[in-house]
Amino acid sequence: MSNHPLFTGPTGMIYSAITVITLLSIMLIISLRLYRERRKKAYSSLILSLSVVLIQYSLIVSLSYRIRMPGDEMAYIVQLLQVVSFIFINMAVFQMYNRSGMRVSISFFSFLAITAGVAALHYVFLESLDDPTQRELLLNWLGIDIYQFVLIFLAFFLISPNVGQAFKYNLCLFFFFGAHLAQVIKRYVYDGSNGTFELLANVLPIAYYAVLLLFIIDRVVELLQATYYSSIRDGLTGVYNRTFFIQKVKEAIKQKKKAAVIFTDIDNFKRLNDTQGHQKGDEALRAVASVIKETADDYGIAGRYGGEELVMMITSQTPASVKKLAELVRRTVEEQTPVTVSVGYSIWRDGVSAEQLLKEADEAMYTSKTTGKNKVTAYSSKRA
């Protein structure tokens, strides 16, 4: 199989290059879309690196019958493009998960400067030879090949610990290392021609860019999830924000679920902020929200309605169990946090809208607030 022309020789190189170009085109479209929407350095670096790789593989397709052995300078240019694209791809991967300051940029551009230096030495050495032999040409390639191995190991030790998909990233490096190692063995041990190592050199780059594509797609999914999370959650407490909470109450009522809303308000919250500072106030809010969320997890959802007001919606509960849960929240807050809460609740009936249900629970909470605090009050239409 390793000698099949589909996988080895010029045909195998073209087949591999066209497959890689297809993967690169998909990644480039994704990157352009991401850059248009987010304008992050990571995506501009990725666009640049993918463009360089596309040039590299376009050259491979157009010159596949010429760049199989050292000696043709176009082969060396293809190798240089591979090094440059590897640097930019890893810069983009790092920037996807980390802020890119001046220090990081200088580090990556230093590697590009070293690449330029290695290339300059190559051409200086080449100019010094009147009639270079195959052995001397091979020796002249050593610099760029060794440098590429150094970059792979540096990426493994410096970048891998700082990205969120370490396994996929390390798998990318493994395939890239394998492809380069196959090229080196084929070049220096087998004088540029060996079916097995040609097969590896042509197939492993496909695996490398396929995993890189999965890496980018997974990162996009992570970003979408983070965006969605931030759009429905309160940044301070982690419970649902007011908009999303009201939406869920409306959905429950539309489905005619036995919904109840429990309203809580931290007692003397303004005085806490004024006397002990906003940091203490934030800590109290997070503590109360944690109690409410933990209580709501088995029965419904928790949210922040505004300021120091935190709410729960529970479903499929009897009036007695709603009262019991409301009292549990009040007691747990008193026992486990430095504050107390005034609690009010209302249970949905036919004909009651989501807005009305929330208003009723708020009114019940206000009754608790104005009649002693740290107590639970059920909404009563008679009181209203």
Rounded to whole angstroms, the Cα distance separating 245 from 313 reads 8
Q: Mind listing the pLDDT tens digit for each residue in 69-95?
A: 445 677 778 888 889 989 988 888 888
Which SS3 state, helix, strand or coil, does residue 312 take? strand
pLDDT above 80 for 12? no
What is the share, in percent, of the chain residues with pLDDT greater than 90? 33
80: left (phi over 0), alpha (psi -120 to 50) or beta: alpha
In this structure, the strands spanning 300-306 and 309-315 are antiparallel
* Mean pLDDT calculated for residue range 154-176: 91
DSSP character at residue 140: H
Rounded to whole angstroms, the Cα distance separating 96 from 101 reads 13
Residue 168 pLDDT:
92
pLDDT above 60 for 4? no
Q: Which is more confidently placed, 187 or 253? A: 253
| φ, ψ of residue 343 in degrees (nearest 5) | -125, 140
* Mean pLDDT calculated for residue range 43-68: 78
Q: What is the pTM of this model?
A: 0.68
Residue 375 pLDDT:
92
pLDDT above 50 for 2? no
Rounded to whole angstroms, the Cα distance separating 232 from 248 reads 11
Kindly report the length of the chain: 384
Q: Mind listing the pLDDT tens digit for each residue in 299-342?
A: 889 999 988 899 999 987 777 888 999 999 999 999 998 999 99
Q: Which is more confidently placed, 36 or 67? A: 36
Across the chain, mean pLDDT equals: 84
What domains are there in the chain, each with its CATH number?
9-232 (1.20.1070), 242-378 (3.30.70.270)
Q: Lowest mean pLDDT: which of 179-188, 194-203, 212-221? A: 194-203
DSSP character at residue 300: E
